C-alpha cells in the first residue's frame, strides 16, 4: 500500500546511493589507484590547489604552482605603513589629533650587544655577513624618542565584552596570514615541515594592518621605520588579560609578538625578532583616560633577540645586487641570537587634555584595586595562551632536578639553542616539536604523571657547567646534559642524578613521522605518537637502570 512515508524512505535511499557513488567518483579522481607511486602527502597538497577539483593538474604543473605560491607572499604584499624619515613627524602628529586626551610616551633603546652574538664570539662572520649586518650596526638609537598619542587609539587593548573575569585571556591581534584559507595554509605548513602558516622572509616593506591596530604599528615605529606587527612565525599576534580592576580602572597585561626588517635594497633582508614585547596598561573602563602605559622586551634572560639574514645575491649585468621584489629564493638563511639590553616604551605621565597642564607622574598617584591577581600569574596566563604546551609546568634546570629527586620522578629536559617559550626559537624542527608533540594531550598527561619538565638555553647550561660556586651534583647534571646535546634541539630523559637514559633530537623526530597515532586516543599525528613512544621507552629504560 502506497504511503508518503514509504515514498520518502525510497527517495532517501536513492539519494544516499547517489551520494555514495559521487563520493567514490570524487575520491578516485583525487587519489587514483594509478598514483600509488606518489606519497599521500603529495596528493593532498596537489588536491589543495586543484581549484576546480577536476583532477587533471599533473605533478609537474603542481610543482610550478608551489613555486608561484612562495613568490606570492613577496609580490602580492599590500602596501603598508612605512614611514620615511622625511614625514615621520607629520605622521605622528596626525595620530595625536583628538578632541579627547593625549598620552605622551617615551622610547628607551640600548642597541644590541654585538659580542653576545655567537658569530662574533666564534669569529665566524664573513665579509658578506658584515655587509648584511649593516642595518643592525647602524641602529644605535630609537627612531623617535618621544611622541604623543590620542587615548582613543588605545581602545584595541580593552576587552570586547564587559565584566570579563580576572586572568581570562583573549587575543586582540589576530593576523590574517592566510591568502588561501587558514586550514590549507596549516596543511601546507605541516606537509612541508614548516610547522604552520609561516610568512616569507623575502620582504622589506611592512604589510598593511587592521585599522584598530594602527596604534601598535606606530608604537613600534618609535624604535625603527620598518616594524612588522604580524611576525613570520607562529604564534603571531597579541594576547591580553585583566590583572586588576576597581570601579573606574582596569590594569591590563599584554604580550605582543612583532619583528623588524633592518635592511633595505641593495642589501638582502635582515630580520630582528625580539623574544616578545611584554606590556602593562592602566586604562579607564570607558577608554577615555590612561593612567600608565609600558611595553618592553624583557631583558631578564641571557639571550632575547633572534636574528636571521639572507646571504647570496642575484647577479645582474655582472654586478651583485638585489631588487625589492626580486630576492633569489635559493638564498641561504644565516641565523644567530643575541642580547638586547633595553627596548622599552613608557608613558611619562597620565593622559591629559591638550590645553591642560600635564598631571602628576604615575608613581605619585597610586591606584587602589578592589580585585587583582599577581603579575606573575598574569604573565603565566598569557604565556599559556600563546603556548599551550606550557600547561605542563616547566621548571628551571636546578629546580627540576631537585623536585624530581623529591618526587622520585624522571627529568624531561629540552636543551636548545634558543628559547622554547618565546620567538627566539630557531629552526622548523624545534617549532614543530613545540607546536605538535608538546601540545598533544596524551603527551602532556604522560609528562605530568611521570616526569618533571625543564627546558634550558644551551648557553645557560654551558655557563652552569663551568660555575665553581654551585654544588658538585648540579655541576654534574649540567655536564651530562651537555654531553647528550646535539644541535639544534635535544630532548632527553634523565635520572635525578643527571644520568641520561634516553634522548631524541628534534630533527630525528620530524624525519621519523612513522609511528601509529591510532594506538592511543588523542594522538593526532605520527610525530606526536613518536614522542609519546620516546617517553615510554625512557620510562622502561629507567626501570632497567634501577633494576640493574
Burial grade of 314 (CB within 10 A; 0-12, 13-18, 19 or more): middle
Predicted pLDDT of residue 544: 75
Mean pLDDT of the chain: 80
Q: Which long-range contacts (CB under 8 A, 24 or more apart) does 535-542 make?
A: 535/412, 535/443, 535/446, 535/447, 535/450, 535/451, 535/493, 536/446, 537/502, 538/410, 538/493, 538/501, 538/502, 539/410, 539/450, 541/493, 541/501, 541/502, 542/410, 542/493, 542/495, 542/501
Cis peptide before 235 (omega within 30 of 0): yes
pLDDT at 88: 54
Residue-level pLDDT at 300: 92
DSSP string for residues in 346-358: EESS--EETTSPP
- CA-wise closest residue to 502 among 426, 412, 435, 437: 412
Q: What is the dihedral of CA 165, 166, 170, 173, to 10 degrees?
A: 130
Who has greater pLDDT, 121 or 533?
Answer: 533
CA-based end-to-end distance of the chain? 80
* Statement: the pTM of the whole predicted model exceeds 0.85: no
Mean pLDDT over residues 273-280, rounded?
98
Q: Domain 387-547 classified CATH 2.40.10.10?
A: no
pLDDT the model gives residue 30? 47
Compute the half-sphere exposure of residue 409: CA atoms within 13 Å on the CB side of its CA.
21
Q: pLDDT class for 292, splitting at 50, 70, 90? A: very high
Question: pLDDT digit string (tens) for 409-425?
Answer: 999 999 998 899 999 98
**Cis-peptide, bond into residue 205, ω within 30° of zero:** no
Give the residue extent of every domain in the chain: 39-74, 82-316+328-358+365-377, 387-547
Amino acid at each position: 500500500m502506497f504511503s508518503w512515508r514509504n515514498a520518502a524512505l525510497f527517495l532517501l535511499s536513492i539519494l544516499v546511493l547517489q551520494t555514495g557513488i559521487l563520493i567514490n567518483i570524487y575520491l578516485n579522481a583525487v587519489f587514483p589507484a594509478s598514483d600509488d607511486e606518489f606519497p599521500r602527502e603529495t596528493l593532498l597538497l596537489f588536491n589543495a590547489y586543484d581549484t576546480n577539483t577536476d583532477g587533471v593538474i599533473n605533478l609537474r604543473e603542481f610543482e610550478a604552482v608551489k613555486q608561484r605560491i612562495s613568490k606570492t607572499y613577496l609580490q602580492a604584499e599590500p602596501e603598508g605603513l612605512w614611514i620615511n624619515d622625511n614625514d615621520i613627524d607629520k605622521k605622528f602628529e596626525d595620530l595625536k589629533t583628538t578632541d579627547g586626551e593625549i598620552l605622551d610616551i617615551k622610547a628607551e633603546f640600548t642597541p644590541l650587544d654585538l659580542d653576545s652574538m655567537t658569530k662574533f664570539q666564534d669569529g665566524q662572520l664573513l665579509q658578506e655577513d658584515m655587509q648584511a649586518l649593516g642595518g643592525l650596526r647602524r641602529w644605535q638609537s630609537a627612531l623617535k624618542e618621544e611622541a604623543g598619542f590620542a587615548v582613543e587609539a588605545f581602545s584595541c587593548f580593552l576587552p570586547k565584552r564587559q565584566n570579563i573575569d580576572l586572568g581570562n585571556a583573549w587575543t586582540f591581534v589576530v593576523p590574517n596570514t592566510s591568502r588561501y584559507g587558514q586550514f590549507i595554509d596549516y596543511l601546507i605548513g605541516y606537509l612541508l615541515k614548516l610547522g604552520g602558516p609561516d610568512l616569507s622572509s623575502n620582504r622589506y616593506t611592512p604589510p598593511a594592518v587592521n585599522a584598530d591596530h594602527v596604534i601598535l604599528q606606530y608604537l613600534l615605529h618609535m624604535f625603527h621605520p620598518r616594524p612588522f606587527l604580524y611576525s613570520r612565525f607562529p604564534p603571531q599576534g597579541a594576547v591580553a588579560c585583566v590583572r586588576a580592576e576597581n570601579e573606574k580602572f582596569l590594569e591590563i597585561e599584554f604580550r605582543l609578538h612583532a619583528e623588524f626588517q633592518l635592511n633595505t635594497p641593495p642589501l638582502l633582508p635582515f630580520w630582528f625578532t625580539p623574544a616578545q614585547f611584554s606590556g602593562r596598561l592602566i586604562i579607564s573602563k570607558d577608554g577615555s583616560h590612561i593612567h600608565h602605559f609600558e611595553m618592553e622586551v624583557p631583558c631578564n634572560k641571557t639571550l632575547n633577540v633572534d636574528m636571521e639574514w639572507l646571504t647570496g645575491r642575484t647577479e645582474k649585468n655582472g654586478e651583485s645586487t638585489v631588487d625589492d621584489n626580486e630576492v633569489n629564493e635559493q638564498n641561504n638563511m644565516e641565523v644567530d641570537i643575541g642580547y638586547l639590553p633595553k627596548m622599552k616604551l613608557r608613558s611619562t605621565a597620565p593622559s591629559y587634555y591638550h590645553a591642560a597642564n600635564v598631571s602628576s607622574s604615575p608613581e605619585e598617584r597610586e591606584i587602589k584595586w578592589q580585585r587583582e591577581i599577581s603579575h606573575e600569574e598574569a604573565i603565566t596566563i598569557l604565556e599559556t595562551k600563546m603556548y599551550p604546551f606550557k600547561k605542563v609546568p616547566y621548571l628551571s634546570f636546578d629546580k627540576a632536578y631537585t623536585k624530581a629527586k623529591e618526587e622520585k620522578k624522571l627529568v624531561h629536559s629540552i636543551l636548545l639553542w634558543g628559547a622554547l617559550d618565546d620567538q627566539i626559537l630557531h629552526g622548523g624542527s624545534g617549532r614543530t616539536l613545540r607546536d605538535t608533540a608538546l601540545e598533544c594531550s596524551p603527551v602532556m598527561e604522560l609528562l605530568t604523571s611521570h616526569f618533571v619538565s625543564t627546558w634550558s638555553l644551551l648557553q645557560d647550561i654551558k655557563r652552569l657547567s663551568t660555575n665553581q660556586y654551585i654544588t658538585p651534583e648540579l655541576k654534574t647534571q649540567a655536564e651530562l646534559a651537555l654531553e647528550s646535546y646535539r644541535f639544534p634541539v635535544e630532548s632527553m630523559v634523565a635520572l635525578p642524578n643527571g644520568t641520561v637514559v634516553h634522548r631524541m633530537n628534534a630533527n630525528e623526530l620530524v624525519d621519523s613521522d612513522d609511528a601509529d597515532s591510532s594506538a592511543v586516543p588523542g594522538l593526532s599525528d605520527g610525530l606526536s605518537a613518536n614522542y609519546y613512544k620516546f617517553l615510554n621507552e625512557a620510562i622502561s629504560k629507567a626501570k632497567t637502570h634501577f633494576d640493574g
